[in-house]
Amino acid sequence: MPIARPAEPVALDGVELRVLHVPLVSPFTTSFGTETVREVIVVRVLTAGGDGWGEIVTQADPLYSSEYTQGAWDVAQRFLIPALLERRTVAAEDVAGILAPFIGHRMVKAGLELAVLDAGLRAQGRSLGEYLGAERDRVPSGVSVGIQKTPEALVEAVAGYLDEGYVRIKIKIKPGRDIHDTAAVRDAFGATPLQVDANSAYTLADAAVLAELDRFDLLLIEQPLQEDDLVDHAALSRMLRTPVCLDESIVSLKAARDALALGSASVVNIKAGRVGGYLEAVAIHDLCRDAGIPVWCGGMLETGIGRAANAALAALPGFTLPGDVSASSRFYARDIVTEPAVLEAGHVRVPTGPGLGVEIDPVALDDVTVQRVEIRR
């Protein structure tokens, strides 16, 4: 459903940006690299009525997408924040339109929009979940497991997450670390809901290898081909029994519409950062729901800020598959919010307090801040 009641417009006095380096509890390896520290940008909008918080989910290097920390840092200060400050009073629903003349940089736009939205909702005493149209008070929690040294080590890692209660396992794959890894997990854990994520590591020429995954009864294969391979994804979809899910390719409502029209995906991963904001994410949810396409909420190793917002988004009715909405402890020993998301019987609670429904821990935030700037009007 489209947003029923707008958030309160906020009078912007300034915007603070911080680059954080948050240590991970264990290295996270995908087809494109290994991270041991989450580099991420936190946004604070300063308004007469109080602060609002957002998160820019870029990574240090442009490997998942073309966006990266220092590019985001630059474009935010040089173009996007000045465009918002020029308006002074901004409604969250207008942020995307104000920033639309600047091409791309969707993760930056999403982080700014979320901060404005948080401030506006806190002023109204409304939760983000209520605003977005959440229909559940908790959401089932899946976990994304990185590539390990060996398939045996992967099985051990998965066993640990299943013991914690995660209801769905996603493993990362890449050429050479696909069939054996998936077989090992499937053999060890029988009927556990299982899916794989290639992060664009294959081409259509690899279709025969990818078809071997069909025997593992996977929920889906996520983003096997490149971001702009909508036509090849459609061709691959016709060659596999495993449902193809798109992540990187779905950069907007328009891209989602194109992908559905072409038959490039039968499942969609929705990430607010990748599509330019939580409002665009809701629009994609609505499109997919009308088309009978299941969606689930992706993750970008968010801090407590984005993690709270993702839980709210994942509580919308079209999110019929468990998302990468895990407990904070999946990645972090110490989060930057006072009450980090926890796993309760395989679920994560949707915050109900005003705005994001989480409070920043200022000491924890300062401890992981490596770069800070404040832009005033």
DSSP assignment of 79-110: IIHHHHHHHSEE-HHHHHHHHTTS-S-HHHHH
Residue 64 interacting entry, from Mg ion, ligand SMG, none, C-beta within 5 to 8 Å by type: ligand SMG
For 86, other C-beta atoms within 10 Å of its C-beta total: 11
Please report how close the Cβ of residue 299 comes to ligand SMG at its closest, in angstroms. Answer: 2
Q: For ligand SMG, which residue of 45, 326, 356, 360 counts as binding (CB under 6 A)?
A: 326
Structure tokens at 287: 């499109």
Q: Which listed residue (109, 170, 174, 271) is catalytic?
A: 271
User: In angstroms, what CA-CA distances link 85 with 12, 50, 102, 171, 345?
Assistant: 6, 16, 15, 42, 44
Residue 324 interacting entry, from ligand SMG, Mg ion, none, C-beta within 5 to 8 Å by type: ligand SMG
- The phi and psi torsions of 219 (rounded to 5 degrees) equal -65, -35
Q: Scan residues 131-170 and list those touching ligand SMG (CB under 6 A).
A: 144
Is 299 a binder of ligand SMG (CB under 6 A)?
A: yes
Contact, 306 vs 118, CB < 8 A?
no
91 vs 162, which CB is nearer to ligand SMG? Answer: 162
Contact string (CB under 6 A) for ligand SMG, positions 226-265, x = contact: ---------------------x------------------
294 vs 354, which CB is nearer to ligand SMG? Answer: 294
What secondary structure letter does DSSP report for 149?
S
- The phi and psi torsions of 105 (rounded to 5 degrees) equal 55, 45
Q: Which listed residue (170, 172, 174, 254) is catalytic?
A: 172
34 vs 338, which CB is nearer to ligand SMG? Answer: 34
Q: For ligand SMG, which residue of 17, 196, 219, 301 counts as binding (CB under 6 A)?
A: 301
Helix (H) or strand (E) holding 147: none
Q: Verify whether residue 271 is a known catalytic residue.
A: yes
CA–CA gap between residue 23 and residue 332 (Å, rounded)? 7
Contact, 255 vs 232, CB < 8 A?
no
Is 247 a binder of Mg ion (CB under 5 A)?
A: yes
**Looking at 101-109, 190-198, 288-296, 333-341, which segment touches Mg ion (CB under 5 A)?**
190-198
Please report how close the Cβ of residue 1 comes to ligand SMG at its closest, in angstroms. Answer: 26
Instruction: Enumerate the H helices of the chain as residue ranges.
Output: 69-75, 81-87, 92-99, 106-124, 128-132, 151-164, 179-189, 207-212, 230-239, 253-262, 272-275, 278-291, 304-314, 362-368
Q: Scan residues 195-224 and list those touching Mg ion (CB under 5 A).
A: 197, 222
CA–CA gap between residue 137 and residue 129 (Å, rounded)? 9
Contact string (CB under 6 A) for ligand SMG, positions 4-33, x = contact: --------------------------x---
Is 324 a binder of ligand SMG (CB under 6 A)?
A: yes
Q: Which residues bind Mg ion (CB under 5 A)?
A: 197, 222, 247
Q: Which residues bind ligand SMG (CB under 6 A)?
A: 30, 35, 64, 144, 197, 199, 247, 298-302, 324, 326
